[in-house]
Amino acid sequence: MLSRDDWLPLARKLDWDYSYVREEEVFPEVISGRPWLPHSEWKDWEESFKTSYREYVDNQYEKDMAVYAVRDAVGRIEDVQKLATPWMNSLKVHAAALPLAEFTGVIGNLRGARFGRDSAWRTMATFGALDEYRHTQIPLLLFHHLVRFDSQFDWTHKFYHTNNWFAVAARHFFDELTVGQNAIEFHIATNFVLETGFTNLQFVGLASLARESNDHMFERMVTSIQTDEARHAQIGHPVLETVMKHDPEYVQYLVDKWFWRNWRIFSILTGLSIDYLTALDQRPYSFKEFMEEWIIDQFLRTLDEFGLKKPWYWDLVIDELDIYHHMIYASAYSYRATLWFNFVIPGPAERKWLRQKYPKYWDDMDAVWEQISERWRTVGPGPENELAVHGTAMPTFCDLCQLPLSAGTPRHNTARVLAHDGRKYIFCSEPCEWIFRREPERYANHQDVVKRVLSGEAPAELPKLLTEYFRLTPETWGKDAHHGSYAWLGPRKKSAA
Amino acid sequence: MPIPLYGFLQGDTIGLLILAEENDTLQTLARKLQDAASLRVAGRKQVRVVYNHKTMDTAITVAQAGLQALDRFDVIAG
Ligand SMILES: [Fe+2]
Ligand SMILES: [Fe+2]
Ligand SMILES: [Zn+2]
């Protein structure tokens, strides 16, 4: 019998010349990606893990058993019930946003597994697809089961199947990143930008938040997922290196575009979790501190290593670190019934912490929270008053990222209108408009939620929009976790009617 | 037919969709936006309406100001 070292190199790297089809037909540019290069340019594609299928299965089996053991030990409903309220709602955000996003990663990897340009790349992408399937199944299993104790966990399965505004934005992102993407752009955008650039937010940042919050199930789950990410993220580097030799401007464009798109999504997912949806005494650092330590510096170093420049809008990202997710959280709080998890108002202690961590713009944010607090003081606490402390006008969304027009600062919102081909578009920020202008054919036909309301596709009246279009119910839509009952608010105002 | 406009109130954290009538004065338009954002931003007596980087006369109407569907306008401290 051949030893492993004898057969594995042959099995991993098995390419051949086609006799009755052309290479361009086997790997069409539209689905394999550009630049289209003959296989001779890809033949040295290599990664360092060099795993066999048998080793892969043995390894993954061990990891899965470890996750099940943790679930049996600390993943019961009684364990979850002990979690602090803010973190419980972080959990609901991730329970919805994570599993089916991972599933789109299955599709992207399968595209690489068929249309990747070298056999070693295709082998690795096959494992990547299996990994992402695991990252779908584990959170579905762990989170959906919690629906017995809280019906908002129903959104674990439901989220991506709705037209909830955040689901529209998340789908717009993942559909482009993975589902509808060619193999080259997929691997650069997903492996290099998301998994190398942003993965620490989820796997280091969230894991340590979970640990501080005594949520050992979540901590172990993301740590287990991370061990797979570390392997399949390696696909991106040799893909990027080869494309760099032929079209460095294109690589720079992909990095610039995808860093921005990732920044938009992750500053919300992780930013809100760290700075608002974790109890104050369980916050190990601010979102900004974490970004600076784990993302910004490391990403710049990685860019340098590959001969890339930092994105042209870099100063804007640095500025947004101080404000963007704060704008989003206050806006989302005031439209919380449009979402599937509950919110808390930052009280005096939280606001003191936020001011200390974010001195640059906090005065303006503080005024917003003061005004919202004042509304609760006026109407008084109680579930029956939720909608009296809620936005009534239609919120607005960016035609690129599909997220609320909440960029810039309270003093100056950076939204910008563009007329293109007889239609009007609005973007939250300059980079979102720039991405649209680079590839209008890709984005121009997508309608944001406001355009859907105006065209009659979605109902204009808020309660109907929530129930019929966003698929929420009065039971599951987001509320103030304390229904405005905070000791620090003081007594209800006498002048209230 | 109401004209859907993107309104941005200084001090707010999000833009809002405001349905204006052609004959609304800009003062009325500013009022509509301030009401819509009152949960987050305290009302102000003195405000200015800015459209296309210009401060507008608030006595004129939406039609006279040339505001069209899906345009941006700003209401800022005056
Ligand atoms: Fe994954
Ligand atoms: Fe992955
Ligand atoms: Zn945007």
3-state secondary structure labels for all residues of chain A: CCCHHHHHHHHHCCCCCCCCCCHHHHCCHHHHCCCCCCHHHCCCCCCCCCCCHHHHHHHHHHHHHHHHHHHHHHCCHHHHHCCCHHHHHHHHHHHHHCHHHHHHHHHHHHHHHHHCCCHHHHHHHHHHHHHHHHHHHHHHHHHHHHHHCCHHHHHHHHHHHCCCHHHHHHHHHHHHHHHCCCHHHHHHHHHHHHHHHHHHHHHHHHHHHHHHCCCHHHHHHHHHHHHHHHHHHHHHHHHHHHHHHHCHHHHHHHHHHHHHHHHHHHHHHHHHHHHCCCCHHHCCCCHHHHHHHHHHHHHHHHHHHCCCCCCCCHHHHHHHCCCHHHHHHHHHHHCHHHCCCCECCCCHHHHHHHHHHCCCCHHHHHHHHHHHHHHHHHHCCCHHHHHHHCCCCEECECCCCCCECCCECCCCECCEEEEECCEEEEECCHHHHHHHHHCHHHHCCCCCHHHHHHCCCCCCCHHHHHHHHCCCCCCCCCCECCCCCCHHHCCCCCCCC
Instruction: Show the low-confidence residues of chain B (pLDDT under 50).
Output: none
Option in A328, A364, A375 nearest B39 (CB): A375
Mapped onto helix, strand or coil, the DSSP state of residue B62 is: helix
Considering the domain architecture, whether residues A281 and A363 belong to the same structural domain is answered as: no
Residue A169 inside a domain? The answer is yes
Residue A329 inside a domain? The answer is yes
B70: which chain A residues are within 8 Å (Cβ-Cβ)? 417, 424, 426
Q: How far is the CA of A331 from the centre of ligand 1 (A)?
A: 29
Closest alpha carbon within chain A to B69: A424
Option in B15, B42, B74 nearest A405 (CB): B15
Using one digit for the tens of pLDDT, what is the confidence trace for A300-330? Answer: 999 999 999 999 999 999 999 999 999 999 9
Binary contact (B16, A394; C-beta < 8 A):
yes
Which phi and psi (to 5°) does residue A419 adopt? -95, 130
Pairing label, strands B54-56, B72-77: unpaired
- The residue among A368, A392, A402, A417 with the most chain B CBs within 10 A of its CB, best to mutate, is A368
Residue A20 inside a domain? The answer is no
Average pLDDT, chain A: 95
Considering the domain architecture, whether residues A265 and A409 belong to the same structural domain is answered as: no
Considering the domain architecture, whether residues A177 and A142 belong to the same structural domain is answered as: yes
Task: Looking at the complex, report in whole angstroms how far the Cα of residue A152 sits from the nearest Cα belonging to chain B.
Answer: 26
Say what the pLDDT of residue A202 is: 79
Q: Which residue, A288, A321, A354, sits at the end of a domain? A: A321
Q: Which ligand number lies closest to the CA of residue A187?
A: 2
Number of domains in chain A: 3
Round to whole Å and give the CA distance between A457 and A469.
9
Closest alpha carbon within chain A to B52: A417
A456: which chain B residues are within 8 Å (Cβ-Cβ)? none
Distances (CA, A) of B1 to B21, B22, B72: 7, 8, 18
Residue A84 inside a domain? The answer is yes
- Range of the structural domain that residue A491 is part of: 325-388+478-497
Q: If you average pLDDT over residues A112-130, what whole number do you get?
A: 97
Class of domain B3-77: alpha beta
Round to whole Å and give the CA distance between A248 and A250.
5
CATH number of the structural domain spanning residue A111: 1.10.620.20
Task: Looking at the complex, report in whole angstroms how far the Cα of residue B68 sits from the nearest Cα belonging to chain A.
Answer: 10
**Does A372 contact B at CB distance below 8 Å?**
yes
Considering the domain architecture, whether residues A293 and A244 belong to the same structural domain is answered as: yes
Round to whole Å and give the CA distance between A263 and A403.
12
Closest alpha carbon within chain B to A362: B11
Say what the pLDDT of residue A4 is: 92
* pTM for this predicted structure: 0.97
Say what the pLDDT of residue A496 is: 46
Considering the domain architecture, whether residues A384 and A400 belong to the same structural domain is answered as: no
Widest Cα–Cα separation across chain A: 89
Task: Looking at the complex, report in whole angstroms how far the Cα of residue B35 sits from the nearest Cα belonging to chain A.
Answer: 9
Q: How far is the CA of A406 from the centre of ligand 3 (A)?
A: 9
**Does A368 contact B at CB distance below 8 Å?**
yes
Residues of B with CB under 8 A from a CB of A: 4, 6, 8, 10-18, 36-42, 69-72, 74
Round to whole Å and give the CA distance between A90 and A20.
55
Considering the domain architecture, whether residues A257 and A118 belong to the same structural domain is answered as: yes
Q: If you average pLDDT over residues A372-376, what whole number do you get?
A: 98
* Core vs surface per residue A446-484: b (16+ CB within 10 A) or e: ebbbbbbbbeeebbeebeebbeebbbbeeebbbbbbbbb
Residue A39 inside a domain? The answer is no
Considering the domain architecture, whether residues A278 and A191 belong to the same structural domain is answered as: yes
Pairing label, strands B72-77, B3-9: parallel
Considering the domain architecture, whether residues A270 and A351 belong to the same structural domain is answered as: no
Q: Which ligand number lies closest to the CA of residue A195?
A: 2
Q: Is the pLDDT of residue A105 over 50?
A: yes
Q: If you average pLDDT over residues A405-412, what whole number do you get?
A: 98
Say what the pLDDT of residue B1 is: 85
Q: How far is the CA of A105 from the centre of ligand 1 (A)?
A: 7
Considering the domain architecture, whether residues A329 and A341 belong to the same structural domain is answered as: yes
Considering the domain architecture, whether residues A247 and A148 belong to the same structural domain is answered as: yes
Binary contact (B71, A417; C-beta < 8 A):
yes
Say what the pLDDT of residue A215 is: 94
Q: Is the pLDDT of residue A426 over 90?
A: yes
Residue A151 inside a domain? The answer is yes
Q: Which residue, A299, A321, A343, sits at the end of a domain? A: A321
Q: If you average pLDDT over residues A137-141, what whole number do you get?
A: 95
Q: If you average pLDDT over residues A243-267, what whole number do you get?
A: 97
Round to whole Å and give the CA distance between A59 and A62.
5
Task: Looking at the complex, report in whole angstroms how far the Cα of residue B60 sits from the nearest Cα belonging to chain A.
Answer: 23
Considering the domain architecture, whether residues A376 and A404 belong to the same structural domain is answered as: no
Using one digit for the tens of pLDDT, what is the confidence trace for A185-231? Answer: 999 999 999 998 888 887 888 899 999 999 999 999 999 999 999 89
Q: Is the pLDDT of residue A495 over 70?
A: no
Q: Is the pLDDT of residue A382 over 70?
A: yes
A415: which chain B residues are within 8 Å (Cβ-Cβ)? 6, 8, 15, 72
Round to whole Å and give the CA distance between B38 and A388.
11
Residue A35 inside a domain? The answer is no
- Among residues A127, A152, A146, A159, which one has the least CA distance to residue A50? A127
Band (pLDDT 50/70/90 cuts) for residue A497 is very low
Considering the domain architecture, whether residues A369 and A289 belong to the same structural domain is answered as: no
Helix and strand element counts for chain B (H, E): 2, 5
Using one digit for the tens of pLDDT, what is the confidence trace for A21-69? Answer: 999 999 999 999 999 999 999 999 999 999 999 999 999 999 999 999 9
Percent of chain A with pLDDT over 90: 93
Option in A410, A415, A454 nearest B4 (CB): A454
Residue A97 inside a domain? The answer is yes
Round to whole Å and give the CA distance between A105 and A202.
16
